[in-house]
Amino acid sequence: MTTLVIAEHDNASIKGATLNTVTAAIACGGDVHVLVAGHNAGEAAKAAAQIAGVAKVLHAESAGLAHGLAENVAAQVLAIASNYSHILLPATASGKNIAPRVAAKLDVSQISEIIKVDSPDTFERPIYAGNAIATVQSGDAVKVITVRTTGFDGAAATGGSAAVESLNASADSDKVSFVGSEIAKSERPELTAAKIIVSGGRALGSSEKFNEVMTPLADKLGAAIGASRAAVDAGYAPNDLQVGQTGKIVAPQLYIAAGISGAIQHLAGMKDSKVIVAINKDPEAPIFSVADYGLEADLFTAVPELVKAL
Amino acid sequence: MKILVPVKRVVDYNVKVRVKSDGSGVDIANVKMSMNPFDEIAIEEAVRLKEKGVATEVIAVSCGVQQCQETLRTAMAIGADRAILVQTDAELQPLAVAKLLKAVVDKEQPGLIILGKQAIDDDCNQTGQMLAALADLPQATFASKVEVSGEKVKVTREVDGGLETLELSTPAVITTDLRLNEPRYVTLPNIMKAKKKQLDTLKPEDLGVDVASKLKTLKVSEPPKRSAGIKVPDVATLVAKLKNEAKVI
């Protein structure tokens, strides 16, 4: 029994979500191998070899793997899939894009966003926006799984010394090509990895106000900034800040929700936070039912006061 | 070109579901059902492509129980031209649905298949990718912009950290993200018109698909409850609590 983890990386370094996935892989039992498929990804492969608990790193190089296109990465995974009992990917935009493609080609079910490994064939995953937890058992020969990163601690990024083995790259698809990307630059901690998150909702009223009110608080706390879907849809914040069922799933030490009512879709993305603080002027807002500390106040006065008091 | 849009009947997104006390599942008897919100976006996009003259026909397809007909009628009220129901009482998982859809794709030969990125009941986010794999088509998931030009389609995708743009040759599979469009309201005249549109019913056996799965749900339980918190009177108290009680700052 051996588990393959598909690393998420930017060709130079390994992304944090991979570390959580390695922890889930270790919980499945057996050896853990990591596949680094990319272009000029030697540095990423070296970094993967350092992860504690990894027995072997497989490194595939080709221009077609540069941008992580699902068609090409899935083909690369399928080329070696017969050696593995489990294939794990992080439940990120990239992992969710690739995993079902691999599973379908293997004619097996895919198990999405597991939060716990009960045994090598039994897993727990949230359904209905996190309002229920399903325990599922797979009878498939290969388990293809995506791992909710907030459900598992990250493996140590150093301390391992796995061998790196080169793989022959499989052929690239001619049906799809990468045109370009616009990645938002940010000095802040990554949303899914941040210890503290300050999140704003529709009550902020405009993107100027959003920045004016939320940024000083985030700066003061060294926090990442998040947003509700309402704030994103209204254009107050970019979409990659959205926390919720269809956005990012986060579980920081401290989550401060300002001007967010707390719809179930939003709660699905943050209710595993250790401490939740809600600032809202509506005493009936559902966010207060999950908040450890609720402050019933206008956020335009409360948030600046909070910044001052810190 | 034809556009095929798979739609799913799910518990309405406003309903707070309850877990059954015997742990066999969630209680969906007598709760309001609707079209999965992402699928509404998919239908809307297909209809817009038809209005632009890019698509010639929009076909909605749903897999599941008899009542999925209502969902298909809604799709036709939004603007789909006709509908196909693959009717079965069996519990369908994404792989089975992808196989059924693959058979429909083989029959109908659409130029584009547009699906929602995930259904809000099982939260799987798999079917579009699986269909693309089975039909050996390119995929663009989590689309926030779709531009068709000739045999190519350019899709802007929402990825972690921002956006990326891909170019796919058609036929291709696209899954919709929330920001792709704002679905229109269905009007009463269109609901009436939709009742007259063609709705064909097939069985999985007609398509030669085995819908059995090796994935079993052992139990469904309530998520751990958060203990009730407290209200604080002012900012100073809040900061004090966070510092001394919760010790998170």
Identify the DSSP state of B242: I
Interface with B, mutate which of A176, A298, A308 (most B CBs under 10 A): A176
Report whether pLDDT(A145) > 80: yes
Count interface pairs A-B at CB distance under 8 A: 253
The secondary structure element, H or E, covering residue A279 is strand A275-280
Nearest-CA distance A302 → chain B (Å): 7
pLDDT higher than 90, residue A72: yes
Q: Do B249 and A196 touch (CB under 8 A)?
A: yes
Angstrom distance (rounded) from CA B71 to CA B63: 11
Can you tell me the mean pLDDT for A29-49?
Answer: 96
Q: How far is CA A56 from the centre of its chain?
A: 23
pLDDT single digits (tens) A204-255: 999 999 999 999 999 999 999 999 999 999 999 998 899 999 899 999 999 9
Q: What is the pLDDT of residue B225?
A: 86
ipTM of the prediction: 0.94
* pLDDT attached to residue A233: 92
User: What per-residue confidence (pLDDT) applies to A186?
Assistant: 75
pTM for this entry: 0.95
The model's pLDDT over B13-33, given as tens digits with 9 standing for 90+, comes to 999 899 999 999 999 989 999
Cα A150 to Cα A81: distance, rounded to the nearest angstrom: 26
Enumerate the residues of chain B whose CB falls inside 8 A of the CB of residue A100.
94, 125-130, 133
- What is the largest distance, in Å, between two alpha-carbon atoms of chain A? 61
Contact B165 A107 (CB under 8 A): no
Give contacts of B 128-187 with A, CB under 8 A.
128-134, 137-142, 144, 154, 157-169, 172, 177-179
Min distance A134 CA to chain B CA atoms (Å): 4
CB-nearest to B122 from A127, A140, A305 is A127
Q: What are phi and psi of A207, to 5 degrees?
A: -70, -30
pLDDT at residue B249 greater than cutoff 90: no
Mean pLDDT of B61-78: 98
Question: What whole-number percentage of chain A has pLDDT above 90?
Answer: 94
Which tokens belong to A127? 């359904």
Instruction: Look up residue A261 and give its amino acid.
Output: S
Q: Do B238 and A295 touch (CB under 8 A)?
A: yes
Q: What is d(CA A126, CA B223) in angstroms, rounded to the nearest whole number?
A: 8
Q: What was the pLDDT predicted at A84?
A: 97
DSSP state string for A144-205: EEEE-GGGSPPPPSSS---EEEEEPPPPPPSSEEEEEEEEPP-SSPPGGG-SEEEEE-GGG-
Per the CB < 8 Å rule, is B122 touching A137? no
- Calculate mean pLDDT across residues A122-142: 96
Write out pLDDT tens, residues A177-208.
999 999 877 788 989 989 999 999 999 999 99
| Residue B247 pLDDT | 84
Cβ contact, residue pair A240, B238, below 8 Å: no
Angle at B158 between CA A178 and CA B44, to 5 degrees: 105
